[in-house]
Amino acid sequence: MEDEHKLEKIGFRSLLRAYLLKSFGEGRKSGYDILREIRVKSGGKWKPSKGAVYPLITESERRGLIRVVETGARGVKRYALTPAGRKALLHFKEHARHLGEQYRAMGSVMGNVFGGFDPELHDLMVKARLLMLAKGGCSHAAIKKIMKRTVEELENV
């Protein structure tokens, strides 16, 4: 059971690391800014602890992925992404497909555990999500229009 919990933490840790890099790439931010941002963007459903975020920030700084760009009042540090951090973020994005494959595999297992879960349906949802990520440069308005239409059709099923 301990190993399973460890694997779960590794998955969330990787997602958190990728999020840190993305967020620091958008502008100067502190660890507190990151915590607040994740809480807001997840609708309060994901609240990583300081004990999860700050060690990743320290590790990312040590590895040269981010750097301190400002130390404010009360010693609050603001960080920005370095060129090495941009490269690492690209690496995460390139491997998002592999992550999607892992989620599809998890969907099959969930179907066996919980019943009533259709692995093919889960696969289609994951593929749709990966396509949306891959189309990051296209108009989000077009994707939203398709998704809204899909939701409306599903409501009528």
For 21-30, how does the pLDDT look when each residue is reduced to its tens digit (9 = 90+)? 999 999 999 9
Q: What local confidence, expressed as pLDDT, does residue 103 receive?
A: 66
Least confident of 17-31, 60-74, 136-150: 136-150
Helix 50-62 crosses helix 2-26 at what angle (to 10 degrees)? 60
pLDDT at 119 over 90: no
- The per-residue DSSP string of 107-119 comes to HHHHHHHHSS--H
Domain boundaries, the chain: 2-82, 96-155
For the domain made up of 2-82, the CATH class stated in words is mainly alpha
- With a CB cutoff of 8 Å and minimum separation 6, the contacts of 89 are 18, 21, 22, 25, 81
Reading the block at residue 123, the tokens are 């696969």
pTM of the model: 0.63
DSSP per position, 70-86: EE-GGG-EEEEE-HHHH
Residue 38: pLDDT over 70: yes
